[in-house]
Chains A and B, each alone.
Chain A
Amino acid sequence: MKTPWNRFDFLLLPLLGGAFILLLWHLSSHSWSGDLPDPAKTWHESKPYVLEPWAKRGELDQGILRFTFLSLILVAKGYAIALILGTPIGFFLGLSPTFNKAFDPIIQILRPVSPLAWLPLGMVLFAKIKGINVTEVAALFTIALCSMWPTVLNTAVGVRAIPTDYLNVARVLKLSRWKTLTKVMIPATLPYMFTGFRLSLGIAWLVIVAAEMLTGRPGVGGFLWQQYNALVYEQIILCILTIGGVGFILDRLMSVIERRFKTI
């Protein structure tokens, strides 16, 4: 059935869904959850953070975009470490059955460990090193360690999935190891690697909140935790929405890049 309304479905239906959730939220705050601020109050209290997004009034009192920016910097650093370490590890796992047998079990055990568990270990690990910001290094350690696995595993799968035909071309032409790697293996693995990169970025962003909450660093997660402790609940919701929105945008950006590399 094609009515004129169907054409606006893409806009209308999400708006309807959103309105339904707002209603549920509003009803909840006025019935069983007395401490939950209703949507109108949330917006009113969040205004200074949203309308002056770059303001800096204090270390943990900054505009929402400024907080987001701080969080993104930290994520970018941790994510970079994850990719720089994860990609070669994935390649080794994919290339060498011995390496794979040696390390796959330990990876499978470390992979499901929560960031909340890694962070204290990071603090302990780097506590005795002079001249570094221990909380920052511990946060980076946690982000990198948690977000690395999709990159590692997808790269390994990609390397194992390189068609024999392509490797035979390299063998027949007697390409050097380096040329085989750069001209055949890496291009053949790229689509898998980028799937890993996208999933890793999602996790890195997920971890940021935990890392900032535990370390008290300024950022969206740190702000959220501070406002909770200060009994200001309106901005918790603001932070959640911001975190969700940023995560969504990051994922979209990565899938655009991912598609760019799906030339195969």
Chain B
Amino acid sequence: MSAHLELFNLTKVYPSKKGPQTIVRDFNLQIPKGEFVSIIGHSGCGKSTVLMMVAGLTTVTSGGIILAGRELSGPGPDRGIVFQSPSLLPWMTARENVMLGINQVFFTATEQERAQIAEYYLSVVGLADFMDKRPAELSQGMRQRVGIARAFALKPKMLLLDEPFGMLDSLTRYELQQVLIDLWRRNQITTVMVTHDVDEALYLSDRVVCMTDGPEAGIGEILNVPLPRPRDRKAILELPEYHRLRATLIEFLEVRAHHRPNSSNSPSGAATPPASVPVSA
């Protein structure tokens, strides 16, 4: 009951030419405060849709979202978001991009205090020397660092990450995962991350939520990741537990993701095939 974030029966239906199309159906999840949860699944399965509903950037068809005891409606700065593309405003410097949100959230603070918050978080993500550069002058990885600083600087109640490292090369991705997990440990912030990278999910998360394929995607299973923290990328590779979890995840993505979450229920949409036939991608 003390879940920090609670999603109950979250459902998203899009209108389409062939009639209403159910993307996500009855998504239920409870996340205690401070937990790092990854949602993993095939591209297009609807995992981003779930995240965007929590962010308030997509409307919820039915069901509800409760964050810290309050039902959410619409977007707000209480949820820090890092998108796959950094979505910085290109006419502003890194500092100005971070300040835009800070001015909005900490409007009671003095000018100096607000500037300090921005400088602190930009330094923490390693951009102390690049604060006054515009996005075009920064590398893709640096831009994403600004995105992370921008999200943390607002002291949000939770963090939503939509494949935040998807556009980066693997070395940069490792670096940024480290930046993220350090900040997460320092702030103990509840985090939901969408990813399709099995190793990323295992390295960062306390739990991994596996989503079945759409349409009518839902939760297939939830995997606990009881690896001790702080995790060392090389050390966890030697744990048998890590390989067992990895094998389970890959097996889920290759086989079980294609089955309906609750195939014993009768099919509801006319557009879906009979329940006994597993949908193959």
Q: List the interface of chain A (C-beta within 8 A of B).
A: 163, 165-166, 168-169, 171-175, 179, 183-184, 187-188, 190, 263-264
Could you tell me if B89 and A168 are in contact, using CB atoms closer than 8 angstroms?
Answer: no
CB distance from A143 to the nearest CB of B (A): 31
Interface positions, chain B 42-75, Cβ under 8 Å from A, are 55-57, 74-75
What are the interface flags for B20-62 relative to A under an 8 Å C-beta threshold, 1 for contact and 0 otherwise?
Answer: 0000000000000000000000000000000000011100000
Known: A165-B83, A174-B104. A184 touches B89 (CB 8 A): yes
Could you tell me if A264 and B91 are in contact, using CB atoms closer than 8 angstroms?
Answer: yes
Could you tell me if B57 and A171 are in contact, using CB atoms closer than 8 angstroms?
Answer: yes
Majority secondary structure, B binding face: loop
B101: interface (CB < 8 Å): yes
Could you tell me if A169 and B89 are in contact, using CB atoms closer than 8 angstroms?
Answer: yes
Q: Which residue among A168, A172, A264 has the maximum number of chain B CB atoms within 10 Å of its CB?
A: A172
Majority secondary structure, A binding face: helix
A165-B85, A166-B89, A173-B105 given; name 17 further pairs at CB < 8 Å: A168-B57, A168-B75, A171-B57, A171-B74, A172-B57, A172-B76, A173-B101, A174-B104, A175-B100, A179-B104, A184-B89, A187-B89, A187-B91, A188-B89, A190-B91, A263-B90, A264-B91
A-B pair count, CB < 8 Å, reads 52
Q: Which residue among A163, A166, A173, A264 has the maximum number of chain B CB atoms within 10 Å of its CB?
A: A173
Residues of B within 8 A of A163 (CB): 87
B134: interface (CB < 8 Å): yes
CB distance from A81 to the nearest CB of B (A): 28
Which 7 pairs across A and B sit closest by C-beta, in order of nearness?
A165-B87, A187-B91, A171-B75, A264-B90, A173-B104, A172-B75, A173-B101
How far apart are the CA atoms of A166 and B79 in the complex, in Å? 17
B126: interface (CB < 8 Å): no
CB distance from A174 to the nearest CB of B (A): 6
Residues of B within 8 A of A183 (CB): 89, 100
Residues of A within 8 A of B77 (CB): 172-174
Residues of A within 8 A of B136 (CB): 263
Could you tell me if A174 and B83 are in contact, using CB atoms closer than 8 angstroms?
Answer: no
Known: A168-B57, A263-B134. A175 touches B104 (CB 8 A): yes
